[in-house]
Structure 1
Amino acid sequence: MSRLAYQYVVLRCVPRVEREEFLNVGVVVYCQAADYLAAAWNADRERLQALDPRLDVDRVCDALAYVDAICAGDPRGGSAALQPRGQRFGFLKAPKSTVLQPGPVHGGVTTDPPRQLERLLSQLVG
């Protein structure tokens, strides 16, 4: 089995930027060699509302579904979803000032990008 380089970002829910508090809610993995781009997420309603009771968790889930659409190349992801995978990942990893923000880009090697995505989701999001 060949080892493939990949990059990933953790998606953070940041309900109140001024408090500098966030909760990890998802992961996006990009592996150019495998032509792979996918996201996995878990928006735990109870944990998110403990962070900010006023947070609209349904809107957070909508934003995460938008990320899924971009990764999948689904037209519901808008013009970003129509770009090549590498550019889609570039769009998703770019800093944003919204409630859903990407963390820093990290990298690694794997023999199985989908399995790596699930492992990262389990380790970093729960």
Structure 2
Amino acid sequence: DERGRPYKVTRNGRLYFHPAGPALTDVWNVPFLSTVSRERVNYPSQKPLALLERIVLASSNPGDLVADFFCGSGTTLVAAQRLGRKWMGCDVSERAVKLARRRMAEARSAYQMTLWASKTGPSVQHSP
């Protein structure tokens, strides 16, 4: 398919198509974030948006709540927003919270976000 997932095989010279579309594999070909990637926000453990979109698509339906309790730079939240899911994110790092808030504002999230300090550190929460 367009994402590089196999849905057809050739056996004994004959071509067979999987009736349900691309077969799931345990290898995902998702490019890493290069140092000059437009997506990069200079957060140490940032994951590619394509990876998180694939995970969100595979594990939820539109309108479901996606929770990321170690949201870091907010990539999971951006993926959930783009795919029509509700989301909630938390992190103890003030830097991560500010970065996630900025990314959600850039993703044009219409949802209210609250920033507060707790005993364990700042958090960001989505209020549906």
Bigger relative contact order, structure 1 or 2 (CA pairs below 8 A, ≥6 apart) = 1
Superposition TM-score, scaled by structure 2 size: 0.24
Larger Rg: 2
Give the TM-score, by structure 1 length. Answer: 0.24
